Chains A and B, each alone.
Chain A
């Protein structure tokens, strides 16, 4: 019997005894194939997907983790309605504000008139300019204070102001990462900004 035949005979004997077969001399851990599916799923779950679908996030429940006091939503509508009906009417509100502005304007006019009269009689023209600047400053401060007190009405032009800044959206994102995103999504900068 040549060497080759001898080896095959031994291997064949081993195979019958439950030892590795001819083509698979390597050992594998117990239950390797039985547990393969579960292990590969775990690996995939932990990988970030480079698309809209973020597998890890998609697995999480979106149910709120925070709790709300019992009956909060049932009573909310009534409490907000009570607040609105108890609030002063907008007419009175604006009257109060305009009253303040009218008083400030009246004082400003008196000061301007006084300054003009003074400049016509005694003061050199440069003093008038100084007075006018000072008055302008005072009245703009008053107006600023007034503007801050006006309730913002989001349905009008105030609401059109954007409170989101594009740069703020990408804090911590490198230009390389952004470029990669654009390349992956076959888009250009113009689509984004």
Chain B
């Protein structure tokens, strides 16, 4: 049975009421946890990393909600935090790896995918995941929001703070690179 979720504006007003703040928070978490988890997981690959980042997202939401301005939608704000946290997490890993060795961080994400116990090189869906790792982080974000989350360009523009036209062009080239990878590997 599909769970019925409250509209965002209702959740926000419930959150601002001290009596219903905790229950509103739970409702927001339940409404967005899976969508945000998959968005993050596709960026950071490993479950433990995705779990850490997802927890940070909701903790930041809890701490920042008092200052949240409603010109932004709750949905795009959460995606913005999740995207930002994912990039920050990847950059931390990159710094750590650069410090420890000269391994290419992109290869490390590729290795993580190949190490997944369900990895199947013959399946196109897995090949797609490998292809995504060849993109720079920010192109990866654009591709993921558009392709997997079916997010309209105007909402992506709110999330990433980039014009819809630039996002459209970026997605076009990211998709082209991915198709080229899939057809040639």
Contact = CB atoms under 8 A, between A and B. Distances in A.
Mostly, the B contact residues are helix
A35 interface: no
A156 B68 CA distance: 6
Interface in A143-181: 151-156, 159-160, 162-166, 168-173, 177-178, 181
B88 to A, nearest CB: 8
A145 to B, nearest CB: 19
Mostly, the A contact residues are loop
Contacts, number: 159
Interface stretch (A2-10, A19-27, A78-86, A127-135): A78-86
Among B37, B66, B116, B172, chain A packs the most CB atoms within 10 A around the CB of: B172
A153 B179 CA distance: 38
Contacts of B61: 154
A33 interface: no
B175 interface: yes
Nearest to B127: A60
Among A60, A159, A181, chain B packs the most CB atoms within 10 A around the CB of: A159
The 7 closest A-B pairs by CB, nearest first: A155-B68, A153-B64, A162-B161, A155-B64, A192-B165, A156-B67, A169-B170
13 contacts: A48-B179, A57-B128, A57-B175, A83-B59, A84-B58, A87-B59, A152-B60, A154-B61, A156-B67, A160-B161, A162-B160, A164-B138, A192-B163
Given A64-B41, A87-B59, A164-B160, 13 more contacts: A65-B125, A66-B45, A66-B118, A73-B37, A76-B54, A81-B26, A152-B64, A153-B60, A154-B80, A154-B84, A155-B77, A160-B161, A169-B138
